[in-house]
Amino acid sequence: QSKASSVLYDGGCYCCMAAAKLLHDSGLNVIVLEARDRVGGRTYTIRNQNVKYVDLGGSYVGPTQNRILRLAKELGLETYKVNEVERLIHHVKAKSYPFRGPFPPAWNPIAYLDHNNLWRTMDDMGREIPSDAPWKAPLAEEWDYMTMKELLDKICWTELNDGDCHKSAVRLLWLQTLLVTEMCVRCDSTNFQSQGTQE
């Protein structure tokens, strides 16, 4: 039985390209098929005179994501620090509200408490994740099949997060999300872009 010497790989996102590179480095001939006119998947930057550049889709890499940072370096991709000096815009119900800080201000004190409870609960969930074997978390299977909407409905009392999250049909894959949370020790240490998740 002869060994396969060629592999046909469908898709040109970073994950697919990394897998194709690994196969190529192992001595196989690899052909990558991509329907678009570019590779990179959901990471895409638009440049023009008005905005200089805008990232669409995947935009942020955190300090613990060493593999994607290494791959970006190998591919010669530039990274940059998120601008925390300028104000951000929170656009909801056809109105825009400028603000500074990691999150839009909550005008309702109950919503503010709700928001803090959400992060505290995620901290607690993150502490249950073994970093060396996240699939062994006591509630791993339950969290993996939970949608964002189900999580927010379970934890939140207010509608603070309505419209801000892609809640429908999104699998949480909390094993990965909470593993990052556990590695960062606490969610509140990663709220600001320069301290973690958004850098």
Q: Which residues are annotated as a binding site for FAD?
A: 34-35
Encoded tokens for 75: 């591919």
CA neighbours within 13 Å on the CB side: how many for 96? 4
Q: Which of 186, 169, 118, 51 is nearest to 195 (CA)?
A: 186
The span from the CA of 156 to the CA of 149, in Å, is 10
Encoded tokens for 170: 């999104």
CA neighbours within 13 Å on the CB side: how many for 108? 9
Give the DSSP H/E element, type plus range, for residue 11.
Answer: none
Residue 160 class from Cβ within 10 Å (0-12 exposed, 13-18 middle, 19+ buried)?
buried
Encoded tokens for 63: 């300090």
Dihedral sign from CA coordinates of 144, 149, 155, 161: positive
Tokens 């909550």 -> residue: 106
Give the DSSP H/E element, type plus range, for residue 10.
Answer: strand 6-10
List, as residue ranges, the binding site.
34-35
